[in-house]
A and B are shown apart, each in its own frame.
Chain A
Amino acid sequence: MAHCSFLREYGKWLGFPPVSNLLKHWRVHSPLLLAATCLIASRHLPFSSSLDPLVTALFAESRRLLSLSLLNVPRNVETLQAILILSVWSPLARREKQQDRPLSGARTLDSWLVSGYGVMLGMTVIRFNDLTRSVAEFKGPRTPVGGQSRESADGISQRLRVWNHLCLIHLQYVQLS
């Protein structure tokens, strides 16, 4: 349910292709992205007594996998997408009390730090040689998105979209936080 909710609410701006086996692919290739998508999709699930422990568990798992990803190779676009999601998590997370400050709870991440890490990781995933050529030749991150094995113009756009979102979110936190 969280998976469907995520694709409906966030699939477009994160640049996910309409791939039927996306969930299966994430399970195998990017548990971090799977955990992050479920975490942020929890915002759109109806409130229930079982929701809060679920969100806590999803946050703990996302944080654990994010920590592991710091030193993991190969780094791929799925990791970037997960970092992108986690960098907007804290401001969007549901607060227990209205008067709580956004950073007062336990289920928060430093969005400036996370988005900055995503940008640094993005620089390593993106083909640096292409960066020195003209803009038109810049292909973006190397790894195909969503388990697709063939390069396509749409795939390039989707990857560039992820990079642009990382830059935009980082710039916003730089100036607004």
Chain B
Amino acid sequence: MSNCHDEADCSYCVGTRRPCIIEPSLLERCRAILNVDGVEPSNHDRRMVAEINLYSKLYGLLQRVTTRARGTEDGGELQAWREEWDYLFRMSFRYLF
């Protein structure tokens, strides 16, 4: 899937800047897959949640680009993201699939 995404990203980047229709509260619910009783979330699922969170934060930051706080982030959101998901990037490759 990651390959699909990467390929899709590269070939679809045309710069039309469209709005996101998903409420932030619904995006937070994407974490539910990490808490299903009796199921250990796979590395794939964790990375997907991490990626959703990253895009969500980036989208929020881009919405503020026109304000006085251009190019700055409130409260180190991206750093907080990095700290939360850093363990994923440290996992052995054998956990990837």
Contacts and interface: CB of A to CB of B under 8 A. Distances in A.
Interface of A: 12-13, 88, 90-92, 102-103, 111-112, 116, 119-120, 123, 131, 135-136, 138, 140, 153-154, 156-157, 160-161, 163-165, 167-177
Q: Main SS of the interface on chain A? A: helix
25 contacts: A88-B4, A91-B7, A91-B9, A91-B12, A119-B22, A131-B25, A131-B26, A136-B35, A140-B32, A153-B36, A157-B39, A160-B33, A163-B30, A164-B30, A164-B52, A165-B1, A167-B52, A168-B5, A168-B48, A169-B5, A170-B20, A170-B22, A171-B20, A174-B55, A175-B62
B44 interface: yes
B26 A123 contact: yes
A102 to B, nearest CB: 5
B8 interface: yes
Interface in B1-57: 1, 4-5, 7-9, 11-16, 18-22, 25-33, 35-39, 41, 44-45, 48-49, 51-52, 55-56
Interface residues of B, number: 43
B39 A154 contact: yes
B96 interface: no
Nearest to A113: B18
Contacts of A136: 32, 35, 37
B59 interface: yes
A176 B22 CA distance: 16
Contact of A88 (B8, B19, B26): B8
Contacts of B18: 112, 173-174, 177
Given A111-B12, A176-B9, A177-B12, A161 B32 contact: no
A37 to B, nearest CB: 14
Contacts of A153: 36-39
B9 to A, nearest CB: 5
A128 to B, nearest CB: 10
Given A116-B21, A119-B21, A167 B30 contact: yes
Given A92-B7, A116-B21, A168-B51, 9 more contacts: A12-B44, A13-B44, A111-B12, A123-B26, A164-B48, A167-B22, A172-B9, A173-B12, A175-B62
